[in-house]
Amino acid sequence: MCSGRVDLEFILRAFSNGQDGVFIGGCKLDECNYVTHGNYDALANTYITKRILKHIGLNPERLRIEFMTAADGNLLAEYTDDFSKKVKELGPLGKAEGIDKEELKLKLEAARKLVPYMRLVERERLRVPVKSKEAYTEFFESSEINALFDEIFSEKLAVSQIMLLLKAKPLSTSDISEKLGLNPSDVARHMISSSRHGLVRYDEPQNCYALV
């Protein structure tokens, strides 16, 4: 299977299922067996997922991608052994980062719901014009792209988490703020915007928000 088919959803699903680390192996860059050069898509998805992991409080080193040929069995063994040792050093997912199990579950589920949106963002705003490892590294590790990603993702992740909380039961602004560690004014802003889009309604008697 082409490594380009390793979608953001697959990676996040693995972490949602409790995997402590995810390793992706692909063909050597510029030696793709297909005209699509899907291994560059895998590289982009890896960079994007690392940013997502960091944003929700997980160590991005829990995800690794390496490129090799079918004849590089020794390299595969070396890479996977090294990665296994690294994951053991990092410890159990979430627990090592000090994130509560339920909190982590909520964050990962909220991030997974944003995958279709992130695919569009990648195509429109995170597309690297030149296919080379150096170009991808320079692009995704630049301060401009990091700032852009945080701007794009943070708002959507907060709203996604709020929608999941409200799916369970109606909550007040203060309840949401406490559960997610967000500023009450930011929660109110998200609720006003979501109300305008017809996603939530305000229940005056109960003094809380609920899904429409």
Span 186-207, pLDDT tens digits = 999 999 999 999 999 999 999 9
Is a pLDDT exceeding 80 seen at residue 13?
Answer: yes
Q: Quote the number of domains for the chain.
A: 2
pLDDT of residue 7: 92
- Nearest C-alpha neighbor of 191 from the set 173, 204, 207, 203: 173
Range of the domain at 202: 169-212
Q: At residue 63, does pLDDT exceed 90? A: yes
The answer to whether residues 174 and 142 belong to one domain is no
β-strands 63-67, 22-26: how paired?
A: parallel
Q: How far apart are the C-alpha atoms of 169 and 80, rounded to whole Å? A: 43
Question: Residue 105 has what pLDDT?
Answer: 96
Instruction: Determine the straight-line distance between the first and last CA of the chain, rounded to whole angstroms.
Output: 42
Residue 193 belongs to some domain of the structure: yes
Note whether 144 and 53 are same-domain residues. Answer: yes
Residue percentage of the chain with pLDDT more than 70: 100
122 lies in a domain?
Answer: yes
Both 60 and 118 in one domain: the answer is yes
Q: pLDDT band for 34, please (50, 70, 90 cuts).
A: confident
Are 182 and 100 part of one and the same domain?
A: no
Give domain status of residue 8, yes or no. yes
17/92 same-domain check: yes
Would 35 be classed as within a structural domain? yes
Inter-CA distances, 104 with 6, 17, 123, 147, Å: 22, 11, 28, 23
Query: What is the C-alpha R_g of the chain?
Result: 19
pTM of the model: 0.92
Beta pairing class for 63-67 and 208-211: unpaired
